[in-house]
Structure 1
Amino acid sequence: MQKPIGIFDSGIGGTSIWREINTLLPNENTIYLADSINAPYGEQAPEKIIEFCIKNTELLIQKGCKLIVVACNTATTNAIDILREKYDIPFIGIEPAIKPAAINSKTNSVGILATKGTLSSSLFAKTSEEFAWNVQITEQVGTGLVTLIETGKLYSDEMTNLLHNYLNPMLDKNIDYLVLGCSHYPYLIPQIKEILGPEVTIIDSGLAVAKQTKTIAEKYNLLNKSKSIQNNQFYTNSDVSIIEHILKDLKEFIQISHLNF
């Protein structure tokens, strides 16, 4: 089926998920929505998050998407159950990979860097209780990180200072795994590695989401069997230069446009 896979996030962070999906499913057409004017979702009230997710979903359905990836931890934990009840289309969500970190930790100490909306959600609490009850979890709200990424300040002094403030206390607690609970955060991995060193394993959910997208597409017979040239559309309701910069290595293969939504 040549219809596109729809992907949305509260901004450009979900492009890290898109990269994994594009690598695993190179024949698929995609439409990506960057709802940057409302980023970060993690600082929004739950009812607003649900409102944004419904808006994004309906736009992707209007554009003919065959399944939708909610490439945002906060949106998944707060809204995906509602979306699945409301719309007759498959949804794939993303949530922090607490389970593999807890199972594999040798120090029994795991850190999680996420948004307030994710860490305060009932889904995160349920997952932590089920899989990490015997492990010390150090939770840290990454206040300010998404905003800096969205405004093109990925390698700023302010970013460096925030990361040290958030991660150094985790090192003091002898973590050996850090779980990234926001789709924006994979773009911070090089800087995080410099702070944490080689003894700490960093886990994000991108590859797992891509694998689940493939599984669901196969289950519902939605895979694109065509060999036609791939069409990848990216829409942002904010400054296009930010998403252009983050995807500059792919500019020959994608189209980026501003869209009011």
Structure 2
Amino acid sequence: MDKSTAPIGLFDSGIGGTSIWKEIHNLLPNEDTIYLADSKNAPYGQKSKEEIIELSFKNTEYLLEQNSKIIVVACNTATTNAIKELRAKYDVPFIGIEPAIKPAAFNTKTKTIGILATKGTLSSELFYKTVSSLEGINVIEQVGYNLVKLIEEGKLGSPEIKELLEEYLNPMIEANIDHLVLGCSHYPYLVPQIREILPESVKIIDSGEAVAKQTKAILEKNNLLNTNSHKNKNAFYTNADTTVLKSILNNEYEVLNKDF
């Protein structure tokens, strides 16, 4: 059976993974997509590994019911805590999203880089292994407490977020970082506010473009790339209020409330 016309499935703990979806949509305009925002259970970053795995299974099973040909785990916390278990349990290609620590470490001139991520990502075994493999690089880790919660509440650009960002980023500036890695798919939406705080010389890195390229590569490898030229279908589901997800998509797409 030809599965090339089946949709790409994506899930995140909320609206943040739309930053990944946008990169995939731009690179692969022929592909249909299904996006799940598990906002009812956000943020994943404060949950136990076992809870994150269970939620990831739940989201995956819904996407497979919708005939997804590949699943993008558009959430750093879910990737770093559950990707191994997902690949072992389900017979479908998975694309994960990890903080882009290695490119930052490779390009740093000051030998000091910062990472802003969730507690779940920073405390994961996968993240620990990545950081441990770096030699001679000072990695300043900061948990972005409450940032996901405020983004999910529709408070982008708010004074509350600015205050938290200043608290989290100023010590990194004092330590002379020249790269800031965004280790949560929600955080690219904070770049305008982050840019106001960081010196111009500090490069901000997120994983969106790399994830889109990897998705394309895996689709090609598995002969799953949709080469049909058609108006693609993009479905968005949330198990919470639809307002914030609609606004982050500039009200261009219908968002359905669904208990998945």
Q: Same fold (TM over 0.5)?
A: yes
Of residues 179, 182, 199, the one that matches 2:181 is 179
Runs of 4 or more consecutive aligned structure 1 residues displaced over 6 Å after TM superposition:
none
Counterparts of 1:177-216 in structure 2 under 5 Å?
A: 177-216=179-218
**How many corresponding residue pairs?**
257
Report the TM-score when normalising by structure 2. 0.98
| Alpha-carbon distance, 1:228 to partner | 1.7
Aligned with 1:80: secondary structure?
A: helix
Tell me the residue number matched to 1:107: 110
Q: CA RMSD in A?
A: 0.7
**Aligned partner letter, 1:101:** A
- TM-score, length basis structure 1: 0.97
Aligned counterparts of 2:228 and 2:111: Cα–Cα separation in 1: 47
What secondary structure is seen at the aligned counterpart in 2 of 1:139? Answer: strand
Structure 1: unaligned runs, 5 residues or longer: none
- Counterpart contact for 2:246–2:254, Cα < 8 Å: no
Deviation (angstroms), 1:197: 2.3
Q: Which amino acid aligns with 2:115?
A: I
- Match for residue 49 of structure 2 among 37, 46, 50: 46
Contact between 2:80 and 2:126, CA under 8 Å: does it hold in 1?
Answer: yes
- Residue 2 of structure 1 aligns to a residue whose secondary structure is coil
Counterpart residue number, 1:122: 125
Which of 233, 236, 248 lines up with 1:234 in the alignment? 236
**Gaps (5+ residues) in structure 2?**
none
Percent identical across equivalent pairs? 63
Q: CA deviation at 1:255?
A: 2.8
Q: Cα deviation per residue 1:28-58 (whole Å; 9 max; x = unaligned)?
A: 0000000001111000111000000000000
Secondary structure at the counterpart of residue 110 of structure 1? strand
Cα distance in structure 1, aligned partners of 2:42 and 2:135? 32
Hey, what's the Cα distance between the residues in 2 that align with 1:217 and 1:255?
26
Which secondary structure state, in structure 1, belongs to the residue aligned with residue 71 of structure 2? strand
For 1:32, which of 16, 31, 35 is the aligned residue?
A: 35
Write the letter of the residue equivalent to 2:130: T
Q: Is the 8 A contact 2:37 2:237 kept in 1?
A: yes
Alpha-carbon distance between aligned partners in 1 of 2:189 and 2:43, rounded to the nearest angstrom = 15
DSSP-derived class of the 1:95 partner: coil
